């Protein structure tokens, strides 16, 4: 009994510290972060609070399968997954258009000639005809 009481007191003090840190972070973030980071921070805070409330309900012995906290957890998880998906799409490699256009233009302006089943450039064809024995 005493060990469980000590564990619960430690857990409660940890929750209080976490709550104080979360409030300080939220106040600081309002002043310094851009909109996208603010959305991400708010989503994490919602997920954190819902998770802590879920833990509290489980410790109280409540049935949380039909509780509203499950909806909040799913919604916050979906928001975080959507944010991750957007960030991965933004970080995906992109084609550098000007060099690609130059590469394609250089390839389409080269003329090829069929020399006995082998495609060669006109310059190579003329050079090989000059070097061929007559």
- Per-residue pLDDT tens listing for the chain (134 residues): 788 888 888 888 888 888 888 888 777 766 777 888 888 888 888 898 899 899 889 988 889 888 999 999 999 999 899 989 988 888 888 888 888 888 887 777 667 778 788 888 888 888 888 888 76
Encode pLDDT of 80-89 as tens digits: 999 899 888 8
Residues 79 and 112 in one domain: no
Q: Is the pTM of this model over 0.85?
A: no
Element counts in the chain: helices (H) and strands (E) = 5, 2
Domain extent for 121: 97-131
What is the C-alpha separation between 125 and 113, in angstroms, rounded?
Answer: 7
17 with 67, same domain: the answer is yes
Number of C-beta neighbours around residue 67 at 10 A: 14
Are 34 and 54 in a shared domain?
yes
Q: Rounded mean pLDDT of the chain?
A: 84
pLDDT of residue 110: 67
Domain match, 40 and 101 both: no
Euclidean distance between CA atoms 134 and 129, whole angstroms? 9
Domain identity same for 78 and 29: yes
For residues 76 and 127, state if they share a domain. Answer: no
Task: Report pLDDT for 81.
Answer: 92
**Cα 12 to Cα 52: distance, rounded to the nearest angstrom:** 11
């Amino acid at each position: 009994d005493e060990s469980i009481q000590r564990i619960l007191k430690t857990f409660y003090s940890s929750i209080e510290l976490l709550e104080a840190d979360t409030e300080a972070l939220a106040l600081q973030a309002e002043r310094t972060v851009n909109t996208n980071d603010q959305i991400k921070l708010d989503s994490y805070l919602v997920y954190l609070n819902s998770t802590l409330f879920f833990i509290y309900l489980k410790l109280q012995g409540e049935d949380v399968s039909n509780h509203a906290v499950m909806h909040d957890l799913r919604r916050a998880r979906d928001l975080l997954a959507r944010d991750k998906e957007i960030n991965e799409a933004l970080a995906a490699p992109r084609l550098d258009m000007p060099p690609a256009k130059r590469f394609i233009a250089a390839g389409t302006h080269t003329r090829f000639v069929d020399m006995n089943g082998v495609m060669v450039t006109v310059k190579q064809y003329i050079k090989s005809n000059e070097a061929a024995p007559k």
